Amino acid sequence: MVKTNSRRNQIDEILESLWKMKEEGEHSKEALLKYPQVKEEEGRLEEMEKENLIALDGKDVSLTPKGEAIAREIVRRHRLAERLFYELFELADKSIETTACSFEHILDASVTESVCTFLGHPRTCPHGKRIPPGECCRRFETEVRPLTLPLTRLKSQEVGQVVFIASQSRGRLERLAGLGIVPGAMVKVRQTDPSPVVRVGEAELALDQEVAKRIFVRRGHLPPRGQRPFRRGLGLRQRLRRGFRQR
């Protein structure tokens, strides 16, 4: 890290650690100093209290609303970066942590939104910790999601376009991607009972009910003849790489 940033980064690390402590119901200074990124520097906490970022109370330390707002953004960037590296490069746990840590200081607000949108507004990091939602997630919930419905709500012979797949499991996403079920793909329902069967490209696929419920589509029409009605999707990793390059 650049020297001039180190004070700021140190403050960021303390704010981030306080956020994690709050998630765990901890509030003592002692617990704070156990966090590996937090270095005990003379007067740092008092300085942060003067900046109205934290409140000190005997052995306890807590975030002020101002500190909490900053911490929330840091944690959001960190966990989004983790998910990005996990999905994109299949980084192992250890390298995810170090890379995400340096990224949280670099990503600016608009890049953070693009990354979040690109990843489908994930709710948790690869470790299962909650990602604080941003403005883009709220827009997605109010503007995009209401226009979509689970694949299981389409009737037989209806056509839909896949908008997103609500799955935390990369294995499942990859299996679906391998079958051509990716955002943008057109699917036609051939059968709904006893389990959904859909046509994607040239293939007919029988889906598990639980899986089909997590595939969200927009009801659509079959494009006119002459245009390829079904396009087999790229693999998930290819798609992620391509999407990333375009940004």
The H or E element spanning position 150 is: strand 149-150
Task: Collapse the DSSP code of 141 into the 3-class scheme (helix H, G, I; strand E, B; otherwise coil) and give the result.
Answer: helix
Q: How far is the CB of 95 from Zn ion (least distance, A)?
A: 13
Inter-residue contact 155 to 192 (CB < 8 Å): yes
Residue with tokens 């910790």: 129
Q: Which is nearer to Zn ion, 35 or 190 (CB)?
A: 35
Q: Which is nearer to Zn ion, 116 or 186 (CB)?
A: 116
Q: How far is the CB of 104 from Zn ion (least distance, A)?
A: 11
Binding mask of the shown chain, residues 71 to 90, with x at each position contacting Zn ion by CB under 5 A:
-----------x--------
Q: How far is the CB of 233 from Zn ion (least distance, A)?
A: 22
# chain residues binding Zn ion, by CB under 5 A = 8
Q: Which is nearer to Zn ion, 166 or 205 (CB)?
A: 166
- CA distance linking residue 192 with residue 16, whole number of Å: 47
Is position 116 an interface residue for Zn ion (rule: CB under 5 A)?
yes
Alpha helix stretches (DSSP H) within the chain: 6-23, 29-33, 44-50, 65-89, 93-103, 109-118, 135-139, 170-178, 209-212, 236-246
Q: Which is nearer to Zn ion, 67 or 120 (CB)?
A: 120
Q: Which is nearer to Zn ion, 52 or 102 (CB)?
A: 102
Considering only residues 208 to 237 of the shown chain, the ones binding Zn ion according to CB under 5 A are: none
Q: How far is the CB of 124 from Zn ion (least distance, A)?
A: 8
Inter-residue contact 160 to 217 (CB < 8 Å): yes
Q: Which is nearer to Zn ion, 144 or 179 (CB)?
A: 144
Indicate the burial class of 30 (C-beta count within 10 angstroms; 0-12, 13-18, 19 or more): exposed
Binding mask of the shown chain, residues 121 to 160, with x at each position contacting Zn ion by CB under 5 A:
x---x-x-x------xx-----------------------
Q: How far is the CB of 179 from Zn ion (least distance, A)?
A: 26
In degrees rounded to 5, what are phi and psi of residue 160? -145, 160
Q: How far is the CB of 156 from Zn ion (least distance, A)?
A: 34
Pairing status of strand 215-220 against strand 159-165: antiparallel
Residues that bind Zn ion (CB under 5 A): 82, 116, 121, 125, 127, 129, 136-137
